[in-house]
């Protein structure tokens, strides 16, 4: 069995972050490796600013697997989710998650859908 | 049968290409380069010329010396060492050199560190370096330094650290006779270490002054001082060591002499022992 941990990066936003939080991914990877983990699950705050090349390099030099990319912020920050009443929102959620899938394919990792599935309220009223 | 090597530091101030020519002319089989000097050659686009010069004297590159201060620097600074390891492994590969030497950190408050902490941290970091270097078939040579402020300052400790990562095949010991002398360990330590764990011997001697007053600048040629070099080499011979014995001194007095004269003196002092 291998050990992994969720990590995220401190930014200047006030968003609630997930897992161990660091000033930079470099700091995160160096410390996580020294502690003895085998891999990381990355909480991505904004996929459009996610630097795949940097993560690839860090994964190689620190010899840490990228287990998954976490999509929580799509739900929490962008308020997009697959089960939304509004079709436009649902489509936007799909488009956003596609970007995670492309990034994950380059990093040979999974995408954690987590909250982006969304919640269904008043189910009986929905068509 | 040992192979005769020389470290560039022995003839330090002269140009690296010239060092190869001088060392090659007097009959050394191999040479160890200093990393800053190689960096200069890369900058000047002279690596091809260096390889041609090495080939013309049938000399091999034994090692690149050294990545220092790798084991106890803070985690966030360690990335620089990892990137340096990748870069230098590529350089080693280009020079057909199979060894990159790394040396442990110096710490002023060594007594405040638990030995187990130092051992574990050093082993973990050596493993990371070795796994990166492995991609280019490069071995990591781990050289303990005998000074009391060095975090790994005994051959026996260096060996125990390597035992912790015994499944990693491309990390070996580099034993420097001067550092061994400074550590004041008994020769019996050599008996305990499997010979396959030793990849290189740095040979040099120490003048007869108290150990605590010795600095690296005091290193002298083999046979001119008080280190029991013959005994060390005999133990190695009996155990079946067949690698390089490489002269490494940093003596400014030698640097003032003509390089050819120093190189001849160096090889004579080595041959008298082997």
pLDDT digits (tens, 9 = 90+) for A32-55: 999 899 999 998 888 999 999 999
pLDDT over 70 at A61, yes or no: yes
E-strand stretches of chain B: 3-7, 30-34, 60-68, 99-103, 139-143, 171-176, 198-203, 244-247
CB nearest to B76's CB, from A27, A58, A61: A27
Number of domains, chain B: 1
Question: What is the domain class of A4-125 according to CATH?
Answer: alpha beta
If you measure CA to CA, which chain B residue comes closest to A58? B79
Name which of A60, A54, A55 is nearest A42 in CA terms: A55
For chain A, which residues lie within 8 Å of any Cβ of chain B, measuring from their own Cβ?
Answer: 26-27, 29-31, 33-34, 58, 61-63
Torsion of CA B158, B251, B5, B14, to 10 degrees: 130
Contacts of A30 in chain B (CB under 8 A): 75-76, 78-79
Entry pTM: 0.91
What number is the average pLDDT over the span A104-123?
A: 89
pLDDT over 60 at A1, yes or no: yes
Task: Tokens for A124, please give them.
Answer: 């009986």
Torsion of CA B175, B179, B209, B214, to 10 degrees: 140
Which band of pLDDT confidence, cut at 50, 70 and 90, is reported for residue A3? confident
Inter-CA distances, A70 with A40, A73, B186, B211, Å: 11, 8, 56, 58
CB pairs below 8 Å between A and B: how many? 29
pLDDT (tens digit, 9 = 90+) per residue, B134-193?
A: 999 999 999 999 999 999 999 999 999 999 999 999 999 999 999 999 999 999 999 899
Interface test with A, best of B70, B78, B79 (most A CBs within 10 A): B79
Distance from CA of B169 to the nearest CA of A (A): 17
Nearest-Å Rg of the Cα atoms of chain B is: 18
Which band of pLDDT confidence, cut at 50, 70 and 90, is reported for residue B1? confident
pLDDT over 60 at A120, yes or no: yes
pLDDT at A12: 45
pLDDT over 80 at B204, yes or no: yes
pLDDT over 50 at A121, yes or no: yes
pLDDT (tens digit, 9 = 90+) per residue, B13-65?
A: 899 999 999 999 999 999 999 999 999 999 999 999 999 999 999 999 999 99
Whether residues B86 and A61 touch (CB distance < 8 A) is answered with: yes
Whether residues B75 and A62 touch (CB distance < 8 A) is answered with: no
CATH number of residue B200's parent domain: 3.20.20.150
Which band of pLDDT confidence, cut at 50, 70 and 90, is reported for residue A19? low
Query: By residue range, what is the domain housing residue B113?
Result: 3-273
pLDDT over 80 at A20, yes or no: no
pLDDT at A93: 96
CB atoms within 10 A of CB A103: 20
Contacts of B121 in chain A (CB under 8 A): 34
Sign of CA dihedral B134, B136, B139, B143: negative
Task: Tokens for A109, please give them.
Answer: 């990792």
Contacts of B79 in chain A (CB under 8 A): 26, 29-30, 58, 61-62
Whether residues A26 and B79 touch (CB distance < 8 A) is answered with: yes
């Amino acid at each position: 069995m291998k050990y992994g941990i969720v990590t995220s990066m401190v930014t200047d936003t006030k968003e609630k972050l997930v897992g161990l939080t660091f000033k930079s991914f470099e700091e995160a990877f160096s410390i996580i490796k020294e502690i003895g983990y085998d891999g990381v699950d990355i909480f991505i705050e904004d996929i459009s600013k996610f630097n795949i090349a940097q993560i690839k390099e860090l994964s190689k030099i620190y010899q840490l697997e990228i287990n998954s990319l976490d999509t929580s912020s799509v739900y929490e920050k962008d308020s997009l989710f697959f089960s939304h009443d509004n079709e436009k929102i649902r489509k936007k959620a799909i488009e956003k998650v596609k970007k995670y899938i492309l990034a994950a394919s380059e990093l040979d990792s999974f995408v954690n859908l987590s909250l982006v599935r969304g919640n269904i309220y008043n189910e009986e009223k929905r068509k | 049968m040992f192979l005769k090597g020389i470290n560039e530091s022995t003839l330090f101030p002269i140009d690296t290409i010239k060092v190869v020519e001088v060392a090659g002319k007097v009959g050394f089989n191999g040479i160890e380069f200093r990393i800053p000097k190689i960096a200069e050659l890369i900058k000047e686009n002279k690596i091809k010329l260096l390889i041609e010069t090495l080939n013309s004297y049938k000399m091999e590159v034994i090692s690149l010396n050294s990545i220092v201060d790798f084991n106890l620097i803070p985690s966030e600074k360690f990335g620089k060492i990892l990137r340096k390891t990748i870069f230098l492994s590529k350089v080693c590969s280009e020079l057909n050199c199979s060894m990159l030497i790394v040396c442990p950190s110096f710490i002023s408050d060594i007594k405040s560190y638990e030995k187990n902490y130092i051992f574990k941290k050093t082993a973990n970091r050596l493993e990371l370096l070795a796994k990166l270097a492995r991609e280019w078939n490069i071995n990591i040579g781990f050289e303990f330094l005998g000074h009391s402020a060095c975090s790994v300052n005994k051959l026996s400790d260096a060996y125990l650290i390597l035992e912790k990562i015994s499944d990693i095949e491309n990390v070996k010991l580099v034993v420097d006779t001067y550092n061994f002398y400074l550590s004041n360990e008994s020769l019996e330590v050599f008996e305990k270490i499997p010979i396959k764990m030793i990849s290189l011997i740095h040979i040099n001697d120490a003048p007869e002054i108290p150990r605590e007053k010795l600095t690296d600048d005091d290193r002298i040629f083999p046979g001119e001082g008080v280190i029991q070099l013959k005994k060390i080499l005999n133990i190695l011979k009996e155990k079946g060591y067949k690698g390089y014995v490489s002269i490494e001194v940093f003596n400014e007095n030698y640097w003032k002499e003509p390089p050819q004269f120093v190189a001849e003196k160096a090889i004579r002092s080595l041959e008298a022992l082997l």
